[in-house]
Structure 1
Amino acid sequence: MCSESHDVEFLSKLESAHEHMTGHINRYVNAWNRGDIAAAMDTFVETDLDYTDHGAMRYHMDKPSLRAFFGELLQACGNIKIKTIMVKGAHDFCVWESETEFIAKMEIPGTPVRKGEKALLHCASLMWWNMDRKITKEVDYAVWRR
């Protein structure tokens, strides 16, 4: 059985990890909510990035591919707002649950959303970070909600 001091130490480390991950996520979310793709891209490593978005069927993108993909998203989606539901993890990995809301600027093939309609996605992301607070790998999953 663990001692009370061990429990306190573990809970302190857990809280520190939560604050650490929440800070990372907030930088990313705030960049998107401002429409600042350069700031959002700055949260990713320059080389050896591995980004997968299962909903968009885009797999193992590097940073230049991700930048192009984010540009496509901005062309198709207006008034993007992301809200964090939950962040759980350690200093180098987290699970991030969020909701993304936007207005479709055009028809988006393969989605239930039509031009001019509001869309809502319930998302879950697995994210890995390096010691420089940069995302090295991300895997996204989303479910359309209306």
Structure 2
Amino acid sequence: MASTSDEDWTVSVGDLLPPTALPPVAALTEVWQTVRGLDLGDQQHAALKLLFGTGATEMVEAALDGGTLDFPVQLPETRMTIRVRRGDGRTARQRHAARYRVVQEPRQGRNPGLWVVMDSKTGGPVREKELVLRWGIEASAQSWISREVARGDYRGKAGHAQAS
């Protein structure tokens, strides 16, 4: 039976699997594919197969106390941790910043191609008072993103700019 949560889980396995966000069943399958061939010993292998290799998410879901499960694994020469987290593992601030990206408009006549900030939430450039914000240099557009993220931190929400 699958998880009742619609959000992805982020899984990692020591240095073998970097943090990867996937739907719950796929996330557990990814962990199992990463660890099943390791020299685990019979008890660890059985426990990991039960948690990650059956296609069921209920046991891990129940263990996600506080949103994170850390499962230590002892190998003959090293120790590592399997980590499962609810969500994509990013903070609200990181998600807010990832919403924006700087792009350069095409050159038009003498205009060398100004820089705009695209908003992935709306698919258009950011606007203030119905005007598309444009900058002559990329660093200025990046600075706008930094200020917008800081403004969102201060206000406890995702900023104020409107996108087209």
Does the TM-score normalized on the shorter chain lie above 0.5?
no
TM-score (norm 1): 0.29
TM-score (norm 2): 0.27
Task: Kindly name which structure, 1 or 2, has the bigger radius of gyration based on alpha carbons.
Answer: 2
Structure possessing the higher relative contact order (Cα contacts under 8 Å, 6 or more residues apart): 1
Structure with higher strand content: 1
